[in-house]
Copies of this chain bind each other. A is one copy, B any other.
Amino acid sequence: MQLPDPTLILKNVSRHIQLNLNEQEYFLSLLQTRELPRKSYLLRQGEICRSENFVLKGCLRAYTTDEDGTEHIVMFGPQDWWISDLASFLSQRPATYTIDALEDTTLLQISKTDLEKLYGKIPKFERFFRLLLQNAFVAQQDRIQQNLSFTAELRYLDFIKKYPRLEQLVSQKQIASYLGITPVFLSMIRRKLSRR
């Protein structure tokens, strides 16, 4: 198997912290490449989430499934994003969410123990993951506020404005699941919008 290009993850990290060449090399040495074919699982509800995962290529989703089989997507993981079941990863307890690949995907993974080593050797990474967490927290708070305040139509318009890449990438069914509506209703919204 050929090694994938690490440029993307270094660029991702450099948005928050600066690394010299040795640090870059050490960081990369802790990462495992993983190929995930479409529809295969990275994590199933009930398993322990053992890695943080950076998406080099492809797209994942994290979701729950209720009694009647309906899926509810809490986050997407497109290229250049980090994804995991954070609660499970941090506590090493069973995961709430299932994570699978919406298309053939390549990941870079770091295990919990290697992440601890990384924190020890390059404390800047504490800062990096804290900033990641802060941004995620703020984005989530925003989403909660929108769910409380907006109709599905407004939420959809905001989604395509905020994540234009994702709108192209994932099916309407997945977007509907993320927005908390049925695919049928999303289709009705789109028809109404296109009539203008």
Contacts and interface: CB of A to CB of B under 8 A. Distances in A.
Nearest to A64: B145
Contacts of A149: 64, 66, 70, 72
Contact of A137 (B66, B70, B133): B133
A136 interface: yes
A134 interface: yes
Nearest to A181: B148
A79 B140 CA distance: 24
A86 interface: yes
Contact of A147 (B96, B130, B138, B144): B144
A90 B143 CA distance: 19
A138 B180 contact: no
A28 interface: no
Given A72-B148, A149-B72, A86 B137 contact: yes
A147 B155 CA distance: 14
B141 A87 contact: yes
Contacts of A70: 149
